[in-house]
């Protein structure tokens, strides 16, 4: 779209140059017509002064008025041409229309000269061989034709000025549209860059979480295996503990019975020491089993917490996948 705007501006500039050339040619042509008018009028006036002295002042006033009018027309045309050159219109069709109109107006001017004066009047044709009155009619006809040309040129200038203003407004609108489009394009590029950065960061985070998830699953499997082994060991130790407790209760009951019957035969000291030693061993095993049982409970709690964390990480990975899918669908 931006390239189309640039191409259109280049075309408008080229059209502007072509219109400037056409206007320069028209201005030179009008200047040539206007420059020939005062010289011919003055030469005719001096030739006719020797024939009729009584009409000298009248014809001199008419020549002066025609000369002043031509000078004023030249100044007005120059001002309009300068203002038009500064504005620089930009369309080819205006130049083509101007060429066709100038050709038609030249043809119409020639026809008017021949009709109004009943003579064949050509642009730049000398007035030699004509009488004084015919010369005056000829000069007046030329003045009328030049005034018509000037009016037509002024009309063209106004049309070109209007076209220039229209083209300027169009160029301003296109420039504003181009600026708005560039801003939107720049904003879209910024959003796209941010989305790419966010997507890359989420992909990195997703890869890290996936690695953590794999490691956590492996750790859970190891802990489950260790928990099974620990459960088996705990069961065996519980069985041993129960047996030891039963034996301890038996020994205690025997000891109480022995204390209650002092009259009977006493137990040998070696056997008594042996029983006491067994009781101590059983108490020690009991304390060890209680410590192991407490560690097992702590390990079970730890495994439960790790399982909860792994489930939360799994849910988080699912939510990130959904978020990434939403971003891809929006882009």
pLDDT average per 10 residues of sequence, the chain (331 residues): 63 67 72 59 42 42 42 42 45 56 64 49 44 77 87 90 91 92 92 90 88 85 84 82 81 77 60 79 82 82 82 71 67 56
Cα 41 to Cα 44, 116, 142, 314: the distances in Å are 5, 19, 10, 106
Instruction: Give φ, ψ of 126 to 5 degrees.
Output: -70, 155
Contact 300, 227 (CB under 8 A): yes
Distances (CA, A) of 159 to 25, 87, 108, 325: 18, 13, 20, 60
pLDDT for 75: 40
Give the residue carrying structure tokens 């018509």. 148
Q: 10 Å Cβ neighbour count for 104?
A: 11
Judge if pTM exceeds 0.85. Answer: no
The C-alpha atoms of residue 302 and residue 314 are separated, in whole angstroms, by 18
Per-residue confidence (pLDDT) for residue 104, from 0 to 100: 65
Residue-level pLDDT at 269: 73
Could you write out the DSSP letters of every residue in 158-216? HHHHHHHHHHHHHHHHHHHHHHHHHHHHHHHHHHHHHHHHHHHHHHHHHHHHHHHHHHH
Cβ atoms of 101 and 156 closer than 8 Å: yes
């Amino acid at each position: 779209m931006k390239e189309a705007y640039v191409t259109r501006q280049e075309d408008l500039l080229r059209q502007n140059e072509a219109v400037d050339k056409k206007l320069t040619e028209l201005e030179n042509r009008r200047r040539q017509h206007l420059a020939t008018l005062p010289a011919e009028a003055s030469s005719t006036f001096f030739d006719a002064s020797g024939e009729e002295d009584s009409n000298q002042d009248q014809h001199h006033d008419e020549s002066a008025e025609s000369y002043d009018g031509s000078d004023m027309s030249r100044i007005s045309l120059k001002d309009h041409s300068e203002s038009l050159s500064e504005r620089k219109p930009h369309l080819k069709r205006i130049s083509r229309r101007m060429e066709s109109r100038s050709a038609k107006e030249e043809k119409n001017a020639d026809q008017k000269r021949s009709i109004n004066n009943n003579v064949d009047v050509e642009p730049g044709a000398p007035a030699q061989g004509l009488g004084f009155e015919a010369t005056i009619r000829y000069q007046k006809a030329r003045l009328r034709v030049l005034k018509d040309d000037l009016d037509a040129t002024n009309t063209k200038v106004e049309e070109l000025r209007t076209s220039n203003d229209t083209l300027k407004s169009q160029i301003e609108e296109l420039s504003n549209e181009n600026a708005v489009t560039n801003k939107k394009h720049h904003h879209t590029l910024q959003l796209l860059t941010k989305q790419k950065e966010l997507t890359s960061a989420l992909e990195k985070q997703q890869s890290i979480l996936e690695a953590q998830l794999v490691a956590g699953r492996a750790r859970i499997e190891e802990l489950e295996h260790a928990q099974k082994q620990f459960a088996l060991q705990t069961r065996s130790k519980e069985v041993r503990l129960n047996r030891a407790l039963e034996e301890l209760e038996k020994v205690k009951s025997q000891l109480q019975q022995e204390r209650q019957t002092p009259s009977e035969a006493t137990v040998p000291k070696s056997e008594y020491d042996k029983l006491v030693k067994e009781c101590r061993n059983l108490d020690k095993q009991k304390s060890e089993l209680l410590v192991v049982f407490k560690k097992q409970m702590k390990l079970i709690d730890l495994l439960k917490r790790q399982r909860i964390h792994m489930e939360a990480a799994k849910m988080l990975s699912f939510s990130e996948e959904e978020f990434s899918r939403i971003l891809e669908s929006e882009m």
